[in-house]
């Protein structure tokens, strides 16, 4: 996990958040950077939290694993890029995962990987305004080192390391927010630097 209090980095993340249509909360903002072309079923995205005082970036995935891609009827669901308003509740215990998690509260939009090729094609069907029944949670695995995503994600945004995710949860709970919005960036000019911090060449 990369943690920084550098005002310049925080300022750049805030600018990227606003540039992509988000609303920055000085107390805490959940974020992801998707590398769509990372190896299939491998960890290759960034997940984290940023505030006016701190930026925390971790390894994770915003992409479904192999079982969802190959078995889900109609194709695996991917959360769409962009700003998802009040997508998650304040962290609470999730029996399914045995840890505190970010449970879906708001509506989400995205697409189905209908041709099961692990990327977003123009022909992939879209879905919009799907409520908490979608189960798009933010959570981690209990593994200390899991090389493949596999069943860790069927739609959820998943931190690779539980210890790091627990630090994100603690940071989120410092704020008084009852709900958290989430900015899912693509890998672009304004986010490349942050991606490279977590996955150095």
Q: What is the mean pLDDT of residues 38-57?
A: 97
pLDDT in tens, 109-155: 999 999 999 999 999 999 999 999 999 999 999 877 899 999 999 99
Question: Which H helix or E strand runs over 158?
Answer: strand 157-159
Q: What is the mean pLDDT of residues 169-195?
A: 95
CA angle 152, 157, 159 (to 5 degrees): 70
Place of tokens 């603690």: 170
pLDDT score of 153: 95
Q: What is the mean pLDDT of residues 60-78?
A: 96
Nearest-angstrom CA–CA distance, 172 and 36:
26
Every domain of the chain and the residues it spans: 2-198
Percent of the chain at pLDDT > 70 equals: 100
Q: What is the mean pLDDT of residues 81-106?
A: 90
Nearest-angstrom CA–CA distance, 101 and 137:
7
Q: Please answer whether residues 27 and 180 qualify as being in contact, where contact means their C-beta atoms are separated by less than 8 angstroms.
A: no
- Please tell me the chain's helix, strand, coil percentages from 3-state DSSP, rounded to the nearest 5: 25, 35, 40
pTM for the full predicted model = 0.95
Instruction: From 102, 88, 98, select the one nearest 170 (Cα to Cα).
Output: 102
């Amino acid at each position: 996990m990369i943690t920084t209090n550098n005002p310049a980095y925080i300022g750049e993340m805030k600018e990227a958040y606003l540039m992509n249509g988000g609303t920055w909360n000085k107390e805490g903002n959940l974020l992801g950077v998707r590398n769509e072309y990372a190896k299939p079923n491998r960890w290759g995205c960034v997940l984290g939290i940023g505030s006016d005082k701190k930026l925390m970036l971790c390894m994770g995935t915003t992409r479904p694993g192999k079982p969802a891609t190959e078995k889900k009827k109609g194709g695996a669901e991917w959360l769409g890029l962009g700003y998802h308003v009040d997508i998650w509740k304040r962290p609470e215990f999730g029996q399914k995962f045995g840890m505190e998690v970010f449970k879906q509260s708001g509506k989400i939009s995205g697409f189905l990987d209908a041709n099961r090729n692990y990327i977003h094609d123009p022909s992939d069907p879209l879905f919009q305004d799907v409520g908490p029944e979608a189960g798009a949670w933010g959570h981690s695995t209990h593994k200390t080192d899991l090389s493949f995503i596999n069943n860790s994600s069927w739609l959820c945004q998943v931190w690779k390391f539980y210890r790091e995710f627990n630090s994100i949860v603690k940071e989120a709970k410092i704020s008084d927010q009852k709900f958290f919005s989430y900015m899912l960036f693509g890998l672009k000019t304004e986010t490349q630097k942050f991606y490279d911090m977590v996955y150095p060449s």
